[in-house]
């Protein structure tokens, strides 16, 4: 069981499954019926995301060793060798590429592009500029496009473009929330952080208003598409208001670090809920 836990940590399976859900959401937004393409999409994206996570841990093994938050990861802790981590990452990459290629050249290209953005561009820029969050956030915006193209739909669609923009915007507060709690560790490890320019309160304000604007844009997205019926829009509006109020409380009314973790859990949970609602709304339309 311990070995299984080590491998699970190496591939960051929870994050990889969230990426799968994002790509599956893109598939259902297309309005395509459920088919074998969905299986190849989900498995292909899981393998690619898992491989990217394993390679990322290999690339950052020395930096991870310098931070309390990451020094217990499988490679810096010595629970898995560097060579074995690379072999696992390679196997996962090859498997993901083969599976995604079954759905066409566009899903494959987008999948490879995402791996490059995450493991080369984002990882390399982390040490030199706070703007590394831009390619980092793009990594979260591409999976819905992979799902949409896997369904055989054209990417020149307001539906998928709008949702991918939301996913891009929704990733950025994650980076800033981590910096609120671990900014000092990041600086000591030689990573560029926004905390070098803004204090704790300023970062909290930035996160809150960014989330407020992003969730408002999501509501506009629902209004200009036909994914949800009007009564679903009313439900979403209520959920959105409740989320904003609760997020405000987490960010401002208690400055303990534990509340920062709660804010991150809240924003992740809300994002997952939105994807589940989008899938549910699309499935209802199918029938």
Higher-pLDDT residue of 50, 232:
50
pLDDT of residue 222: 75
pLDDT of residue 118: 94
Higher-pLDDT residue of 277, 286:
277
Whether 68 shows a pLDDT value over 70: the answer reads: yes
pLDDT band at 255 (very low <50, low <70, confident <90, very high): low
pLDDT of residue 224: 72
Give tens-digit pLDDT for 168-206: 999 999 989 888 888 888 888 888 888 888 888 899 999
For the residues 102-129, what does the mean pLDDT come to? 93
Q: Is 244 exposed, middle or buried (0-12, 13-18, 19+ CB in 10 A)?
A: middle
Whether 32 shows a pLDDT value over 80: the answer reads: yes
pLDDT of residue 146: 98
The pLDDT mean for the chain works out to 89
pLDDT band at 239 (very low <50, low <70, confident <90, very high): confident
Whether 236 shows a pLDDT value over 60: the answer reads: yes
Lowest mean pLDDT among 2-6, 93-97, 124-128, 148-152: 2-6
Of all residues in the chain, the percent with pLDDT exceeding 90 is: 55
For the residues 263-279, what does the mean pLDDT come to? 89
Lowest mean pLDDT among 8-12, 193-197, 267-271: 193-197
pLDDT band at 233 (very low <50, low <70, confident <90, very high): confident
Could you give all domains of the chain from N- to C-terminal order, each with its CATH number? 2-286 (1.10.357.140)
pLDDT band at 67 (very low <50, low <70, confident <90, very high): confident
pLDDT of residue 1: 63
How is residue 152 written in tokens? 């055989």
Question: Which of 46, 56, 136, 50 has its CA nearest to residue 100?
Answer: 46
* Buried b or exposed e, range 150-170, using 16+ CB within 10 angstroms: bbebeeeeebbbbbbbbbbbb
Distance between CA atoms of 181 and 137, rounded to whole angstroms? 19
Alpha-carbon 35 to chain mean position: 25
pLDDT of residue 244: 93
Distance between CA atoms of 137 and 171, rounded to whole angstroms? 5
């Amino acid at each position: 069981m311990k070995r299984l836990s080590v491998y699970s940590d190496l591939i960051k399976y929870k994050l990889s499954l969230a990426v799968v859900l994002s790509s599956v959401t893109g598939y259902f937004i297309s309005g395509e019926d459920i088919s074998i393409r969905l299986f190849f999409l989900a498995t292909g994206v899981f393998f690619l995301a898992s491989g990217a996570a394993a390679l990322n841990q290999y690339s950052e093994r020395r930096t991870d060793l310098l931070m309390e938050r990451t020094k217990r990861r499988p490679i810096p802790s010595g629970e898995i060798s560097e060579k074995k981590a690379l072999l696992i990452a390679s196997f996962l990459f090859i498997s993901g590429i083969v599976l995604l290629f079954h759905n066409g050249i566009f899903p494959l290209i987008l999948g490879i592009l995402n791996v490059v953005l995450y493991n080369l561009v984002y990882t390399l820029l982390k040490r030199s500029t706070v703007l590394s969050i831009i390619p980092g956030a793009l990594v979260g915006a591409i999976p819905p496009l992979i799902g949409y193209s896997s369904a055989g739909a054209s990417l020149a669609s307001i539906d998928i473009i709008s949702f991918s923009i939301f996913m891009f915007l929704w990733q950025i507060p994650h980076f800033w929330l981590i910096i609120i709690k671990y900014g000092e560790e990041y600086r000591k490890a030689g990573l560029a952080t926004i905390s070098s320019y803004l204090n704790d309160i300023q970062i909290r304000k930035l996160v809150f208003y960014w989330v407020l604007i992003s969730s408002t844009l999501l509501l506009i997205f629902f209004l200009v598409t036909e994914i949800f019926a009007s009564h679903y829009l009313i439900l979403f509006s209520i959920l959105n208001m409740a989320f904003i109020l609760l997020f405000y409380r987490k960010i401002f009314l208690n400055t303990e670090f534990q509340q920062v973790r709660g804010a991150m859990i809240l924003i992740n949970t809300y994002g997952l809920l939105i994807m589940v609602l989008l899938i549910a709304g699309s499935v209802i339309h199918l029938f």
